[in-house]
Structure 1
Amino acid sequence: MRNQFGVLFISASFLVIAANASAEEAKPGAIRGMLLTADHQQRQVGSAVVIVCDPKSGLPLAAETRQPLRAGDFQGPESLWHCVTSEGSTFEIPDMPAGEYRLLVQSWAGVNGMQSMKQCAKFPSAVTLAHGTAENVVVRPGETTDALIKELGTRQLTVSLDPNDEPMFIFVSTAPMRLDPVLGYYGWGDEFNRHIIAATHYSQPRSTFVGLPNDRELYIGVFCYDNLMGFGGAVVRPRETEITVPVHGSWSNGNIDPPARLLSLTEFLESSGQSWEEITQLSSLKELRDAKGHVDQTRAWQMLLLTPERRVPVGDLGEFPVKDVMAAEAYRGLREHRRKDKARQAERRKARAAQPATGAAQAAPAETP
């Protein structure tokens, strides 16, 4: 009986300890921070937005779920998890689950805090002020973690888009994209996302970013969220102060032609009749085929992303890395869509021209005596 009582006592003790430990782990912490100049003096920047990001993916966290943002979570900038600085450029984010975070701080000229999408459209700001980031911010249960946001530099960069009449977001990063910009999110990669230092809604013919790092390359990513999505990207050289970024999309004014290094590969895909699945040697993999024998496009692209540098032979052109074949296929698809669209428009014009005249343009019937 004593042995049984001892076992029960020890078991109950472990349960209590485990419950207390679980409660302690679940206890939220907080982040307290301030904005500093390059020489560590406190700045006076009120109403700047502090955005909380996932350090692994680089994605901002959704305010409701406090998880990396998914497409369905985004209901406008205000749906991001964020707070706003005081006039003395300090901030505090309470109720932080234990974990590691990345903070990005910025503001817009003439704007207090974070605007909604409607406000962005009605009262757009053409100037985005980058105030800095805080990396590897670790929050422990029940504790307050300090985060110092140091300004990045004094550089100004003005960005124009081609075309510039679509609803778009612009992102500035200190890390390059993994693949060609035409590949969209496939091409951005975690490194680009993890090093984003400023972002804005593009609603003016030009957008200017202030407070960027001096004397280093920067990388621009563009996302068009129209019903037909588009993407763009560009490298900004250290001393460049203005840049125009081509945006790739299937709209009538979207950029569809590849850069010179991919032109021959794109033309090969257009004329050879050989598919990208055959070139990348995925067509022989049975596990990538669906019940009808077709290659599962999503799974195939995910597999290619695992080894983007793998080189494959392409006709008489020599060898190319898989990532270039993927980009050339995307450009081929855009060009084909444009050709078909023009053919449809020509057919419609021809059909309208063949219709008999109606209304005032129709000849009046002869009068009867």
Structure 2
Amino acid sequence: MSLSAAALAAPPAQAAMPGSPPLVIAQALPDNPARISPQEKEDDEREVLVIQALDQPTDLSVRDTPIGDAIKQLVEKTGIETVIAQGTFALLPHGAQTRLSSSFQNKPLREGLNALLLPLGLQFTPTSRGLVIEPSAPLRRIARRSAWEEVETLALLRHRPWSDQLFDSLSFQFQDTAGGDLEDHRKTLKRLADAVGVGNAAEVLELACEQYGWTWYPNGDKIVILSKARQIERQLDQRVDLRYDQVSLKDVLLDLAQRANVLLRMDGGVLTTLPQQGNDRFLLNVQNTTIRQVFDLVAGQTGVSYIIEPDGVRLTVGVAMPTSTSVGSDLARAASEAYRLNPIVGQITFQSDDGASYSFFLRENDFPPEINELRKLRMRQSVVELGHSLKAEQPRD
């Protein structure tokens, strides 16, 4: 049995045609029993076996043990392969050395895992390949290494049921919420939470915020309430060290979205508008840079721009700068039109002293008017020459 760190791979994206609706990366296809392939059937059966194993009684006793070692001890008793999602340790107070204590006897593996993971804001998901251990949504939304105080707040909210007493004991901070003061926002949140019904405090808070387009995360001794679009911006502000060497643009964009833990959407045909060389051979090397800045660099080199939306990031061609949901649609359309009037017309590549190659795309406005006229003339001449050449190659009767 093995314990390894890995990222969940997104299924292959379907080709998008110009004019089609936005393409959602990693969107699940609807169930259709009549079309289940043998592989899908096998995966489903294996996942059921994993779920059944979660109901088997298990013993575990760990004290002040690093989380990786504790999980390894637990899964060794069951033989279930366990994968730790990429980025999980980066969110824990002491990373892979975060220590925990837990003891239980003859309890279902499901309960044992919950007892082990819940105090750290983690959760598990059964798959056809075993178990995936990953951060809970609120832990991910902290978007940095958490403090013990914040992890303890998450554990409290996931363990205790929602109640008036609990609500009164919590300290909230409302960010970028329209209108009203703190007391008004607290009353609104209380009313929304009461309408949800029974459940643990974390679930109720999640559903209550959802009704107003809000979300939440613990920050020190407070619970921050903010808009979903602002939360996406926070996740894009995480700093990374990256090196892409001759990587396809699609894989670069998917990797950035995965690192930020945001949904990635693509407008139809967004990648087909780029020169093939730049699409297949993207090169970038950055250190201590925010994911948002990397998106900006990609936009500057390729013309593929992004818009921050409440549920993720949408890629498009034509928006002159990153645009959040607070910017009006008229401005976005005007910027898109301005970008379409300044298309990519060339590319330059040079090699540095260390042997690395760098490529930059050139737009029409990068050239003076007289050069653009000569370029257009030369293009027309080339088209005519190509036409003559093709006609000469046609077979004659």
Aligning the two structures, in what range does the TM-score lie when normalised by the shorter sequence? under 0.3
TM value normalised by structure 2:
0.23
TM value normalised by structure 1:
0.25
Larger helix proportion of the pair: 2
Bigger Rg over Cα? 1
